[in-house]
Amino acid sequence: FDGLGAVPQAQQSYAVGELLAPDDAELKAKRARLEKDAPELMQGDKVPCSIITGFLGSGKTTLLNHILRENHGKRIAVIENEFGEVGIDDALVKGNNQAQEEDIVEMNNGCICCTVRGDLIRGLRSLFKKTTGNGRPLDGVLIETTGLADPAPVAQTFFADDFVQQHMVLDGILTLVDAKHIVEHLDEEKPEGVENEAVEQIAFADRILLNKCDLADEAHLAEVERRIRTINAVVPIKRTVNSVIDMSFILGIRAFSLERVLAREEEFLADDQDHQHDNRVSSVGIDVPGEVDEDVLKRWLGRLLSEKGVDLFRSKGVLAVKGRSQKLVFQAIHMLSGMSYQGAWQPMERRVCRFVFIGKHLDREELTKGFKACLAQK
């Protein structure tokens, strides 16, 4: 019975037992109870997977790091998807927790809800086979989507592939909501045929973390919660700061309900769904060797966010700074920004500067030229 889960092994054992003792009434009764409970028991035999979603800058990577740093003793793998050709979150995750590098899969070839769904299936298969083969099976998988992903097609993956369906189960869709900026994203007018991702992320949520509550007053938070309830009336909501949350609220919750999703979207299981992004939104990735002059960088970023911040949904970078041994991490949501030093450059590590901007009406040439002007003179 090698390779079978615990429930199929038990089913096989009872079947063999009945062949050897066909008149054993107690054995028959036990097998009948097992067959009755098998569907539910087999769900518990699968690797639980959680989808972490939320609009750009809502705190997804911060939550991911919070989970991975927890002393829960579990082996949790990570699949990351970024909207753009330059990956930043991968470095932020690897640099801030004890997760093993082979348990982190990064996908930067497109959006996980459309162009790289095949990559997601291959990533899930690879993680399961690799970890099962080395005798250290997974306790869970966290899938962090890009902030522009519709979670429905990602969730559909767990019902579209036989291998994934056999070995993994969708535990829940966890949506982070930026308390300060969410209303403007919910109210944004989209071109015809383009879904509002912020609305979809709330609609399909099994748990909502209303994050960054320290940046809004009580009246604003109450209004945000009211807006959330108009989209998803029954989802449990917790207010958070810096994505800090009790693990029991988000992991091992068995909260995803296919029946509830089908009631909202009858075509959920159709294999021809096509998610269309707002073509006004793009990303500009910059990846250059060398170091920046911190003072020049700060002045440039200050001007950039002041002039273009309304259209810049998300900006983030991991940078080498002249005269500093640590990595400078910069993050911004619209005009709200911050930077800090996190982790040292390793002796043999190539000192590079990586930056990504996500927003509307971005000028790649202008952004690249402005950033390169911040590089320190050799």
Closest to 224 in 3D by CA, of 207, 239, 234, 245: 239
271 is a domain residue: no
Beta-carbon contacts of residue 79 (< 8 Å; ≥ 6 apart): 105, 106, 107, 120, 123, 124, 127, 141, 142, 143, 144
- Separation in Å, CA 336 to CA 68, 113, 212, 306: 26, 28, 12, 10
User: Is the domain of 27 the same as that of 90?
Assistant: no
**How big, in percent rounded to 5, are the helix, strand and coil portions of the chain?**
40, 25, 35
Average pLDDT over residues 240-257: 95
User: Is the domain of 51 the same as that of 124?
Assistant: yes
Confidence tier at 351 by pLDDT (50, 70, 90): very high
**What pLDDT was estimated at residue 86?**
46
User: Is the domain of 189 the same as that of 89?
Assistant: yes
User: Is the domain of 253 the same as that of 342?
Assistant: no
* DSSP structure string for 196-224: -HHHHHHHT-SEEEEE-GGGS-HHHHHHH
Domain range for 21 is 6-44
Answer yes or no: is pLDDT of 93 > 60: no
Dist CA 311 CA 299 (whole Å): 19
User: Is the domain of 37 the same as that of 56?
Assistant: no
**What pLDDT was estimated at residue 318?**
92
User: Is the domain of 247 the same as that of 289?
Assistant: no
For residues 11 and 268, the model is more confident at: 268
CATH number, domain with residue 138: 3.40.50.300
Closest to 52 in 3D by CA, of 143, 121, 132: 143
Answer yes or no: is pLDDT of 9 > 70: no
Domain count, the chain: 3
Dist CA 111 CA 88 (whole Å): 15
The model's pLDDT over 157-212, given as tens digits with 9 standing for 90+, comes to: 888 888 998 899 999 999 999 999 999 999 988 887 788 999 999 999 999 999 99
Average pLDDT over residues 239-268: 88
**What pLDDT was estimated at residue 305?**
93
Query: Which of 37-46, 53-62, 251-260 has the highest average model confidence (pLDDT)?
Result: 53-62
Q: What is the pTM of this model?
A: 0.73
User: Is the domain of 171 the same as that of 22?
Assistant: no
The mean pLDDT of the chain is: 82
**What pLDDT was estimated at residue 377?**
84
**What pLDDT was estimated at residue 41?**
44
**What pLDDT was estimated at residue 14?**
53
User: Is the domain of 68 the same as that of 102?
Assistant: yes
Confidence tier at 213 by pLDDT (50, 70, 90): very high
Answer yes or no: is pLDDT of 289 > 90: yes
**What pLDDT was estimated at residue 4?**
44
